[in-house]
Amino acid sequence: MSDSAPPGELAGEITHLLELIQEWQALFPQAAEQAGHWRHVLAEVQAHLAEEVVRVAVVGAVKSGKSTLVNALMGREVLKRGAGILTAMITRVRPGPEERALLLFKAPEVIAGEIQQALNFLPDARLENHPEPFTLSRPQDRELLAQILAGQEAASLWANGSLNQNYVLLTAYLAGYGRVEEALARGSLELCGPDVERHQELVTQEELAVYLADALLTLPAADLPPFLELGDCQGSDSPLPQHLTQVLAYLLKCDLALYVISSRMGLRQADFQFLQELRRMGMGEHLIFVLNLDLGDHRDAADCEALIARVRRELAPWVPKPRLCAFSALQVLLERRREAGGLAPQEEAFLALVQGDPGKSELSRRGWEEFQGLFRQAVEGVRAGRLAGGALPQVLMVAKGLAEQVDWARRLLDRDAGAYRELAARLQARRQPLTAVRASLHQTLEGATRHLGAELKHRVDAFLSEQGSREASLVSFVLTYEPDWERLLADEPAAPLRHQLYRLFQEFQQELLKLAGGEFNLQVVEFVRRQEEWLRQELHRLCEPLVVALEETLALYYRETAALGLPGEPPSLKLEVPPRPPKLEVPLLSLALEPGWRWAGEVWLRSGMGVLERLWQRLKAKAGWGSLDPRQQAEQDLRRALAAIRRWVREELKVQLVDFGERLKFRYFLPLVAELAQGLEEGLERQLKSLLVDLEGLTQALSHGEADREGRRRRLDALAPRVRLVEARLTSLAAQVNGG
Ligand SMILES: Nc1nc2c(ncn2[C@@H]2O[C@H](COP(=O)(O)OP(=O)(O)O)[C@@H](O)[C@H]2O)c(=O)[nH]1
Ligand SMILES: [Mg+2]
């Protein structure tokens, strides 16, 4: 995928240029500084190309075939198919020379935080009196947790199914501890060679996976480019709020997404919602849809075709002209594995069955071919876009600088030392205005960094104060949330009020986290995108006049050199606001509610108010004034407790939004402004320095080598056309990637 594409070509031209620079320097060892600069620029571009990653998120509903697709692309069973939906992180897979799995464990404080959060939902006196904080590494604490989990209260609280997420989490943490204890202390685990397979065990077993923060697998895959990363994401319909936040965070770093749709399930409501979210994140035009055909499920090829047409129709309102391919990921995987060395007998039998209908099988094969083409094209598009933005203009300027230097050296060969010195002095004077414009560009950018930063801080405040208002989604949710009273009260009439309170808050929190992790963060992402766009436009707008001034001053300089017998083409400078530095990640909100809620709710239940109220009700009942039945009484108590909790959560939310705002400002926007402004200036400076040849060095070099004038001329004559050729090829490459 890589050699014939523009990045491959560019790498080739860089190698040529380095050779030519070497030859140039052998001719003029005194002009080493200029050669040093060129080499430095090229080395940076090379390093950049080498560490560049094109990230591709594989998304879709649970069990749509995401892991199977990643395996099909890699041509082997990398990821466990049909793995549990509770697996906590995105597994990233990269082609690479050797087999390696790097597993990163959650930091101890993260684990402690998650455990504390889950423990908040355990009404157990032993926890309330526990000397803080609860630590898994302490055997007594593990023992206590085991007792509590097995105990009566927990059992009755979690008895009926749906609300057992905290229970599952705590159980998993407890069960897995012994097996990860050692690795946990090191923070990460690296598996090499045949051991790599063990990662599947870690990633797919709940009690081990719960400890993991990140998994990166590197495996040989001959037909995939080394710069690719495939991220196997959690199902977009996963019930766990933290999954959505994680997928969102990963998608923010991705260049493309493969959207897998199972032919068994087709597109469903959850898909349309997710599609809309993808669009809001700006991924709408970077999607390739894969309709994963379960061939056994369809009568014949015509049946498949009809389904493809339907899916295409259904997608059209969401994504104009969707790129959609249909094939069986499982068939591809099995066929590739058979080629590579063999399948188990059941797999052979399954494949034979799938291939039984030549029509369907052929359709799937064509779909796979088509997909590979589209995928390759999309990945190359990403790379070409990046080249056009940064690397290519820099390399082009080096080629132009070298070509000019060679050309001028040829013209200067015949002159004497006195003429060189005069020339150098006159051109040096001509550079003064250039230096002045550069200085004012620097000042402009410094000023811009300050005032754009201040404006962004202001905008973050405004955005968050809007998000903190009564109308905004999070707050209005907190203020208006109503549980399913029927279910809550009817479930177990005998359950103590306290348990119902815990359950009520657990549901409340679950919904709140879902909203915060999803909708709120999406709004943050949209906000950040708008600000970044604005920031780029502002930087562009502020610098454009100065770049025009720079170009005009350069044109004057070139006129002067031409008058001195050194003609050259004044260049056009590329004003490019650099991409967002990869180390800057958009902060996302992850709400954590502390045990304060417990006091807020329980205080009411236990409070004088609550006691008096109940006493009053009892008195009314005795006096025969008609009173509340126990169920009504419970509902009234819980409603009041809920009101107390709401007030507490609202306050807590305020605090956390302020904190989040500070992170947005100081850990994201301010560094972003500084990095973009600096990158922009450095880019321009590098281009100028590549071009404005070191005349001092050149004239000195020329006056040193007068003895072998003829030998130099021959070598320069040979060098000139080769440099021009590289320059011409780079120019046409630039036209190619800019023209799309
Ligand atoms: N019959 C059939 N099964 C498939 C196909 N693709 C995936 N599966 C099975 O569907 C299940 C879920 O697939 P998986 O890739 O784990 O889904 P994920 O949850 O999206 O990662 C696994 O058991 C796969 O073997 C297919 O094309 N045909
Ligand atoms: Mg999967």
pLDDT for the residue 244: 82
Output the residue whose Cα is nearest ligand 1's atom 14: 65
Distance of CA 503 from the midpoint of ligand 1 (Å)? 35
- Eight-class DSSP state of 262: E
Token pair belonging to 455:
């404006």
User: Would you state the torsion angle of the CA atoms of residues 387, 393, 396, 397, taken in this order, to the nearest 10 degrees?
Assistant: -150
Rounded Cα–Cα distance for residues 79 and 217 (Å): 10
pLDDT for the residue 659: 93
Say if ligand 1 is within 6 A of residue 546 CB. no
Dihedral angle sign, alpha carbons of residues 441, 443, 448, 449? positive
- Smallest Cα–Cα separation from 394: which of 691, 52, 53, 726? 691
- Eight-class DSSP state of 716: H
pLDDT for the residue 580: 87
Output the residue whose Cα is nearest ligand 1's atom 28: 294
Rounded Cα–Cα distance for residues 695 and 712 (Å): 18
Token pair belonging to 398:
């080096």
Span 330-387, pLDDT tens digits: 999 999 999 988 788 899 998 888 888 889 999 999 999 999 999 999 999 998 888 8
pLDDT for the residue 2: 43
Q: How many CA atoms lie within 13 A of 95 on its CB side?
A: 19
Pocket test for ligand 1, best of 76, 80, 81 (most atoms within 8 A of CB): 81
pLDDT for the residue 611: 66
pLDDT for the residue 740: 47
Pocket test for ligand 1, best of 59, 66, 68 (most atoms within 8 A of CB): 68
Domain 56-97+220-388: CATH superfamily, name plus number:
P-loop containing nucleotide triphosphate hydrolases (3.40.50.300)
Rounded Cα–Cα distance for residues 324 and 258 (Å): 10
What SS3 state is found at 191? Answer: strand
- Tokens 């014939």: give the residue: 4
pLDDT for the residue 1: 45
Token pair belonging to 707:
């003895």
Rounded Cα–Cα distance for residues 215 and 189 (Å): 10
The answer on pLDDT for 151 being more than 80 is no
Output the residue whose Cα is nearest ligand 1's atom 15: 65
In Å, what is the CA distance from 447 to each residue of 118, 237, 434, 686?
48, 47, 20, 21
Say if ligand 1 is within 6 A of residue 66 CB. yes
> Residue 82 CA: which ligand 1 atom is closest?
16
- Eight-class DSSP state of 518: I
pLDDT for the residue 610: 63
> How many residues comprise the chain?
740
Other Cβ atoms closer than 10 A to 600: 21
How far is residue 581 CA from its own chain's centroid? 12
- Smallest Cα–Cα separation from 250: which of 519, 667, 588, 670? 588
Rounded Cα–Cα distance for residues 71 and 333 (Å): 6
Distance of CA 82 from the midpoint of ligand 2 (Å)? 6
Longest Cα pair distance anywhere in the chain, in angstroms? 125
Which distant-in-sequence residues (6+ apart) come within 8 Å of 160 by Cβ?
491, 492
Rounded Cα–Cα distance for residues 129 and 597 (Å): 17
Instruction: Classify residue 164 as exposed, middle or buried by CB count within 10 Å of its CB (0-12, 13-18, 19+).
Output: middle
In Å, what is the CA distance from 679 to each residue of 42, 533, 586, 690?
16, 16, 19, 16
pLDDT for the residue 337: 93
pLDDT confidence tier of residue 491, bands split at 50, 70 and 90:
low
Which is more confidently placed, 519 or 614?
Answer: 519
Which is more confidently placed, 490 or 635?
Answer: 635
- Smallest Cα–Cα separation from 245: which of 259, 233, 229? 233
Distance of CA 95 from the midpoint of ligand 1 (Å)? 22
Q: How many CA atoms lie within 13 A of 579 on its CB side?
A: 17
Helices (H), 607-629: 608-622
The answer on pLDDT for 161 being more than 60 is no
What SS3 state is found at 318? Answer: coil
pLDDT for the residue 84: 60
- CB crowding 511-545: b at 16 or more within 10 Å, else e: ebbbbbbbbbbbbbbebbeebbeebbebbeebbee
Pocket test for ligand 1, best of 62, 63, 333 (most atoms within 8 A of CB): 63
Using alpha carbons only, give the angle 447, 450, 452 rounded to the nearest 5 degrees: 100
Contact 59, 206 (CB under 8 A): no
Rounded Cα–Cα distance for residues 61 and 170 (Å): 26
Say if ligand 1 is within 6 A of residue 234 CB. no
- Span 726-739, mean pLDDT? 88
User: Would you state the torsion angle of the CA atoms of residues 614, 617, 621, 624, taken in this order, to the nearest 10 degrees?
Assistant: 160
Say if ligand 1 is within 6 A of residue 328 CB. yes
Which is more confidently placed, 413 or 104?
Answer: 104
Q: Where are the domains of the chain?
A: 1-38+392-425+711-740, 56-97+220-388, 432-567+575-691
- What amino acid occupies position 254? C
- Span 386-406, mean pLDDT? 89
- Span 388-414, mean pLDDT? 88
The answer on pLDDT for 692 being more than 80 is no
In Å, what is the CA distance from 264 to each residue of 63, 64, 708?
10, 8, 80
What SS3 state is found at 347? Answer: helix
The answer on pLDDT for 154 being more than 70 is no
Percent of the chain exceeding pLDDT 70 equals: 91
Rounded Cα–Cα distance for residues 52 and 389 (Å): 14
Backbone angles phi, psi at 129, to 5 degrees: -95, 5
Q: In what order do the strands lie in the sheet with 256-262?
A: 188-192, 100-105, 212-219, 91-95, 228-232, 54-60, 256-262, 287-292, 324-327
Say if ligand 1 is within 6 A of residue 263 CB. no
User: By mean pLDDT, which of 96-105, 418-427, 517-526 is the weakest?
Assistant: 418-427
- Paired sense of beta strands 91-95 and 212-219, if any: parallel
Average pLDDT, the chain: 86
Say if ligand 1 is within 6 A of residue 62 CB. yes
The answer on pLDDT for 504 being more than 90 is no
Rounded Cα–Cα distance for residues 673 and 578 (Å): 11
State yes or no: cis peptide before 133, omega within 30 of 0. yes
- What amino acid occupies position 443? Q
**Phi-psi domain of 491 (left: phi exceeds 0; alpha: psi -120 through 50; beta: other):** alpha
The neighbouring-strand residues paired with 22 are none
- Span 571-582, mean pLDDT? 85
Contact 653, 468 (CB under 8 A): yes
- Smallest Cα–Cα separation from 265: which of 294, 236, 295, 234? 294
Output the residue whose Cα is nearest ligand 1's atom 22: 82
pLDDT confidence tier of residue 210, bands split at 50, 70 and 90:
confident
What global pTM score does this model have?
Answer: 0.87
Say if ligand 1 is within 6 A of residue 87 CB. no
- Tokens 């549990």: give the residue: 84
Rounded Cα–Cα distance for residues 572 and 264 (Å): 56
Q: Which element (helix H / strand E) includes 289?
A: strand 287-292
Contact 699, 495 (CB under 8 A): no
> Residue 293 CA: which ligand 1 atom is closest?
27
User: By mean pLDDT, which of 32-41, 118-127, 243-252, 482-491 is the weakest?
Assistant: 118-127
Token pair belonging to 624:
């025969």
> Residue 81 CA: which ligand 1 atom is closest?
16
Pocket test for ligand 1, best of 233, 236, 330, 351 (most atoms within 8 A of CB): 330
**Among 129-133, 307-311, 410-414, 570-574, the range of highest mean pLDDT:** 307-311
Other Cβ atoms closer than 10 A to 96: 15
Q: How many CA atoms lie within 13 A of 379 on its CB side?
A: 24
- Paired sense of beta strands 91-95 and 228-232, if any: antiparallel
User: By mean pLDDT, which of 169-173, 651-655, 704-708 is the weakest?
Assistant: 704-708
In Å, what is the CA distance from 316 to each residue of 57, 73, 156, 319, 387?
21, 26, 49, 5, 31
How far is residue 529 CA from its own chain's centroid? 14
> Residue 61 CA: which ligand 1 atom is closest?
20
Span 703-731, pLDDT tens digits: 776 667 788 889 999 999 999 999 999 99
Q: How many CA atoms lie within 13 A of 669 on its CB side?
A: 29
